[in-house]
Amino acid sequence: MAGEAKNKVKFGLSNVHIAKITEEDGEIKYGAPFAMPGAVSLSADPEGDTTPFYADNIKYYISISNQGYTGDLEIAMTPEQFLKDILGQEADTNGAIFETADDINARFALMGEIDGDARKRRFIYFDCTATRPSAEMNTNEESKEPQTDTISITMSPRSTDRAIKAVIEPTEENQEVYNTFFTKVYEKNAASEAV
């Protein structure tokens, strides 16, 4: 809508959600998103090559390959649901979470929200894989400093349509879709559904 304020800057990270992927016969399906509380930061560095072709003594053509992103999600503490649903770890009868050398990782969609000076922006990476979280543990000194987990994530092009990510800001026209963004994985030109 004309006259709506646009973001000039972005800051903050919240509402990180994960939706597990299952794939059968080349069809990707997403599970219900679950929250990853305690998000501290998310980095996403572009992956792909730039290959110049020289002719007529100049860069005649430049080929650019987009292979998604790699980055790190820093989080206060990795939720048990992520350890089990995505990293394939299992709980025993006493509730202890077991990591084994044979755990099978699942792919997932990564969703979240970034604040802006005018409005919040929601984003999704459609096809991600993750490493086991790295953790740091330190003794307490004069003050207690929270320790965090860091999960390395690869955000790849989705095999079905090569989609990598989408970003949406609320407008008068898309407000219903925006409001239900974390209830299911957003798809291109999605219409709002009663939840």
Q: What is the pLDDT along the chain (195 residues), one digit of tens a residue?
A: 456 777 787 788 999 999 999 999 989 999 999 999 999 999 999 998 888 999 999 999 998 889 999 999 999 999 999 999 999 999 999 999 999 999 999 999 999 999 887 789 999 999 999 999 997 777 877 888 888 999 999 999 999 999 999 999 998 899 999 999 999 999 998 876 644
Helix/strand/coil for 77: coil
CA distance 177 to 186: 9
Domain extent listing, the chain: 10-138+145-179
Q: What is the pLDDT of residue 116?
A: 80
CB atoms within 10 A of CB 155: 24
Residue 21 pairs in a beta bridge with 30
Q: What is the pLDDT of residue 92?
A: 95
Q: What is the pLDDT of residue 195?
A: 43
Q: What is the pLDDT of residue 192?
A: 64
Helix (H) or strand (E) segment spanning residue 62 = strand 58-64
Q: Confirm if 46 and 152 have CB atoms less than 8 A apart.
A: no
Pairing of strands 69-75, 39-42: antiparallel
